[in-house]
Chains A and B, each alone.
Chain A
Amino acid sequence: MKRMATDNGPNHGAAAAEAMDDPVPGWVRAAAAGDARAWEQLVDRYDALLWSICRAFRMSDDDAADATQLTWLRLLENLGRIRDPQRLAGWLATTCRRECLASLRRSRSSVTVDDEHLDWLLGGVGPADQPLLVADQYAVLWQAFQRLSQWCQRVLRALVINAEDGPPSYRLAALELQRPVGSLGPTRARCLDQLRKLLDSGGI
């Protein structure tokens, strides 16, 4: 059985308080015991995360859907065995990534991705300028980002989407956000600080 290794780091005060507010472990327990509503909560919370991971592999919609559904079925068959429900997002992300890799291997002859990118996806070295996030780090980042204020999400999204291969374009981001260019630096710093706090309390 594919067991997911998780780090059980020290439970600092902030993380413990965070854990008390986290509904996910309760949902996992309830869903394992036959509570359909708890299962639906889990799906509502994490389906977008799985889809995002599949899309990062440049899979077609059909293949992404297959990998996503299989990931949910894997969770269903393992609900009673999840070792660390507080890190369920990481478990889901790792499982989804493995389903995507398996799917790519099965259909290698029909993948439209170029060879260099495919080698990277199958475990080779990535493009030098792009960090590779392990699946559970991706999940932690994704969760922390969702918990930022709507405004910070918009600001950071505008800054990174307009960056292409270089540094963020403050001018383009300012146009998109309809804010003065000069205000973006301090806003960016504030939002990244907030993101770091959320990442720290997420226990990475």
Chain B
Amino acid sequence: MSTEDPTARADGEPAVTLGELDDAGLLAALREMLSHDEPPPAWSADLAKGSYGWQALDAELAVLTADSGLATAQSVVRSGTASRLVVFDAADLSLEIEIEPGDRADSWRLIGQLSPGTPARIQVRQQRAEPVWVAADDRGRFTADHLVGAPLSLICARDGMRTAVTEWIPLG
């Protein structure tokens, strides 16, 4: 497969064009698909539907630009530190958070820093948990405890500025 194949994807997967497959190839493709065809558990769709409540209309998206948690579990253990550094960037705002294990098993805490460092109200959102508001101080620092092992997103509300919402990241 040519590396310039326009149907090849950025993550390096080779491309198979379905229209080019003969009957045997089409049946093989079907087999690949149908061998993993168990229906999802009922709660899967329910949870996804319930996620709609997290939609932040009219907020500016702060995209993930760095996440040390994308390293493998092995490299995190080897480096001797269990904390994870995550950075989100919006047009005029950066949120840096450090996530580390909390006091209890299966709990985490985060320490955050806004740039520019100004006061703000930060909403910590996690799937399957109630949202929590914390305050960022006059230097833009904030903390949140008792995070659970579920996807995480933050909202940042500053006076006179557009609300920012971060992408969702996995946790736990």
Closest partner residue, chain A, to B35 (CB atom): A161
In the bound complex, CA of A137 to CA of B142 (Å): 44
A66 touches B48 (CB 8 A): no
| Nearest CB on A from B51, distance (A) | 6
B15: Cβ under 8 A from any A Cβ: yes
| Nearest CB on A from B115, distance (A) | 19
The residue from B45, B57, B168 contacting A73, defined by CB atoms under 8 A apart: B168
- List, in ascending order, chain A residues with CB within 8 A of B51's CB: 69, 72-73, 76
In the bound complex, CA of A131 to CA of B170 (Å): 30
A1: Cβ under 8 A from any B Cβ: yes
Report the stretch among B70-78, B92-100, B133-141, B156-164 that lies at the interface: B70-78
| Nearest CB on A from B65, distance (A) | 10
Q: How many B residues face the partner with a CB closer than 8 A? A: 60
In the bound complex, CA of A34 to CA of B169 (Å): 23
A179: Cβ under 8 A from any B Cβ: no
B34 touches A157 (CB 8 A): yes
The residue from B16, B32, B45 contacting A43, defined by CB atoms under 8 A apart: B45
In the bound complex, CA of A131 to CA of B70 (Å): 28
A55 touches B38 (CB 8 A): yes
Most A CB within 10 A of own CB, among B27, B35, B52 = B52
A106 touches B69 (CB 8 A): yes
In the bound complex, CA of A102 to CA of B167 (Å): 15
In the bound complex, CA of A129 to CA of B14 (Å): 14
Interface residues on A, range: 35 or more
A-B contact count (CB 8 A): 179
Evaluate whether A204 and B30 lie within 8 angstroms (CB atoms) in the complex, with A40-B49, A44-B45, A47-B40 already known. Answer: no
The residue from B31, B32, B48 contacting A72, defined by CB atoms under 8 A apart: B48
In the bound complex, CA of A52 to CA of B127 (Å): 22
Evaluate whether A123 and B12 lie within 8 angstroms (CB atoms) in the complex, with A69-B47, A76-B52 already known. Answer: yes
A137 touches B18 (CB 8 A): yes
| Nearest CB on A from B40, distance (A) | 4
A159: Cβ under 8 A from any B Cβ: yes
| Nearest CB on B from A196, distance (A) | 8
Q: Is the interface of A mostly helix, strand, loop or mixed?
A: helix
B85: Cβ under 8 A from any A Cβ: no
A73 touches B49 (CB 8 A): no
| Nearest CB on A from B56, distance (A) | 8
B44 touches A51 (CB 8 A): yes
A140: Cβ under 8 A from any B Cβ: yes
B26: Cβ under 8 A from any A Cβ: yes
Return 13 A-B CB contacts under 8 Å, by A number.
A40-B49, A56-B32, A68-B40, A77-B165, A77-B167, A106-B70, A108-B73, A109-B77, A110-B73, A140-B18, A142-B33, A160-B30, A188-B23
Binding site for B on A (CB under 8 A): 1, 5, 7, 31, 34, 36, 39-40, 43-44, 47-48, 50-53, 55-56, 61, 65-66, 68-70, 72-74, 76-77, 79, 94, 97-99, 101-103, 105-110, 123, 126, 129-135, 137-138, 140-142, 145, 156-157, 159-161, 163, 167-168, 188-189, 192, 195-196, 199-200, 204
Binding site for A on B (CB under 8 A): 6-19, 21, 23-41, 44-45, 47-49, 51-52, 54-57, 61, 63, 69-70, 72-74, 77, 127, 151, 153, 165, 167-168, 170
Given contacts A36-B49, A39-B49, A196-B19, list 4 more A-B pairs with CB under 8 A: A7-B6, A56-B33, A137-B18, A204-B19
